[in-house]
């Protein structure tokens, strides 16, 4: 029987510790990620519906994502939990990335590419392990219908957002750059699984304030992430300019990483380090 967050965290951490894919594929043999952490959201948390209203009708609620995986036996939202986890960058990766000004470091590019491959494995491993144990589960980001559409308000947006799931689960809030600030900082990635399981829900200490842990939004100070962006894609007046960010990554950092490190994907993340929220919530806000 699985009915505690610690049991779920064990499934995730055991896989983190043993899966060969949790690797930067360097000669050092180091892992792609530091130790994961987990939080649980209620499937019928009203914030999921609010996210859908804000992003667009194509954006899934947990109930909709679950029904896509189990069309013959859908579940009411109240019986679902969203298990959200955070994968922090390692100290070595953050230290390397802090040295860079215009393109990502090799470790960062490797974590974005190989580390995300591991993250995909982890999503599926968690969903399959829980399903085998009698708790039908799905990783929405791994569904064949997962994709991107134009949101009137936010431009290109996906039909499942790991960051929004993490916010609802209590893992963190959005910063000036749109990235999430967690207790392990902003140099992180996320994954999630929707499961028909009765787990206790994590207390969301910031309530519904989606900017609570950003110094700019909370106190009008900082703005360090804006200064770190070589494409001027973050400003204190407008926040994150998704199009400028997209253009810089597609035109500069991704081709650089492919050419130089032999990695794929779309790494950048210069705005995620050398800032007060790199590896923590700014202490002034706690």
CB nearer ligand SF4, residue 33 or residue 174: 174
Q: Contact, 208 vs 105, CB < 8 A?
A: no
Query: Does 234 sit near ligand SF4 (CB under 6 A)?
Result: yes
Q: How many residues does the chain have?
A: 286
Query: Does 187 sit near ligand SF4 (CB under 6 A)?
Result: no
Question: For residue 93, which of 226, 284, 274 has the smallest C-alpha distance?
Answer: 274
**Unique residue bearing structure tokens 């967050």:** 5
CB nearer ligand SF4, residue 131 or residue 235: 235
Would you tell me how many other CB atoms lie within 10 Å of the CB of residue 269? Answer: 26
Q: Contact, 40 vs 168, CB < 8 A?
A: no
Pick the binder of ligand SF4 from 77, 193, 214, 257 (CB under 6 A).
214
Query: Does 281 sit near ligand SF4 (CB under 6 A)?
Result: no
CB nearer ligand SF4, residue 17 or residue 219: 219
Question: For residue 16, which of 102, 122, 117, 106 has the smallest C-alpha distance?
Answer: 122
> 51 is written with which tokens?
């996210």
Query: Does 216 sit near ligand SF4 (CB under 6 A)?
Result: yes
Query: Does 185 sit near ligand SF4 (CB under 6 A)?
Result: no
Q: Give CA–CA dist 164/109, Å, rounded.
A: 24
Q: Give CA–CA dist 165/138, Å, rounded.
A: 14
Q: Contact, 182 vs 36, CB < 8 A?
A: no
Q: Contact, 115 vs 33, CB < 8 A?
A: yes
Burial classification of residue 64, based on how many CB atoms lie within 10 Å of its CB (0-12 exposed, 13-18 middle, 19 or more buried): middle
| Residue nearest ligand SF4 by beta-carbon distance | 175
Query: Does 225 sit near ligand SF4 (CB under 6 A)?
Result: yes
Q: How near is the Cβ of 132 to ligand SF4 at its closest, in Å?
A: 38
Give the count of residues interacting with ligand SF4 (CB under 6 A). 26
Pick the binder of ligand SF4 from 271, 273, 274, 279 (CB under 6 A).
271
The stretch near ligand SF4 (CB under 6 A) out of 88-96, 112-120, 156-164, 212-220 is 212-220
Q: How near is the Cβ of 272 to ligand SF4 at its closest, in Å?
A: 7
Q: Give CA–CA dist 195/188, Å, rounded.
A: 23
Query: Does 275 sit near ligand SF4 (CB under 6 A)?
Result: yes
Residues 114-133 that bind ligand SF4 (CB under 6 A): none
Residues 136-175 that bind ligand SF4 (CB under 6 A): 175
* Contacts for 28 with CB less than 8 Å, ≥ 6 apart: none
Here's the x/- map for ligand SF4, 21-50, by CB under 6 A: it reads as ------------------------------
Query: Does 229 sit near ligand SF4 (CB under 6 A)?
Result: yes
Question: For residue 211, which of 224, 203, 220 has the smallest C-alpha distance?
Answer: 220
CB nearer ligand SF4, residue 24 or residue 176: 176
Residues that bind ligand SF4 (CB under 6 A): 175-177, 214-216, 222-225, 228-229, 231, 233-234, 245, 248-249, 268-271, 275-277, 282
């Amino acid at each position: 029987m699985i009915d505690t967050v610690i049991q779920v965290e064990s499934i995730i951490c055991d896989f983190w510790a043993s899966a060969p894919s949790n690797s930067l594929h360097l000669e050092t043999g180091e892992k792609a990620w530091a130790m994961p952490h987990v939080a649980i959201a209620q499937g019928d948390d009203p914030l999921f519906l609010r996210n859908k209203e804000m992003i667009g009708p194509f954006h899934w609620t947990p109930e909709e994502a679950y029904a896509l995986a189990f069309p013959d036996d859908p579940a009411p939202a109240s019986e679902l939990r969203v298990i959200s986890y955070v994968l922090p960058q390692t100290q070595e990766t953050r230290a390397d990335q802090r040295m860079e000004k215009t393109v990502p470091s090799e470790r960062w590019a490797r974590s974005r590419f190989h580390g995300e491959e591991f993250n995909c494995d982890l999503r599926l491993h968690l969903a399959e392990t829980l399903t085998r144990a009698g708790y039908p589960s799905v990783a929405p980001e791994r569904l064949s219908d997962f994709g991107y559409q134009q949101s009137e308000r936010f431009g290109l947006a996906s039909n499942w957002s790991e960051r929004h799931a993490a916010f609802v689960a209590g893992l963190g809030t959005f910063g000036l750059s749109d990235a999430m600030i967690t207790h392990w900082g902003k140099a992180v990635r996320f994954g999630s699984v929707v499961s028909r399981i009765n787990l206790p829900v994590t207390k969301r200490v910031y309530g519904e304030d989606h900017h609570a842990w950003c110094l700019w939004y909370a106190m009008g100070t900082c703005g360090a992430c804006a200064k770190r962006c070589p494409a001027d894609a973050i400003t204190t007046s407008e926040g994150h300019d998704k199009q400028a960010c997209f253009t810089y990554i597609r035109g500069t950092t991704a081709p650089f990483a492919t050419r130089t490190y032999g990695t794929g994907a779309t790494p950048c993340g210069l705005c995620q380090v050398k800032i007060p929220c790199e590896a923590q919530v700014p202490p002034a806000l706690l």
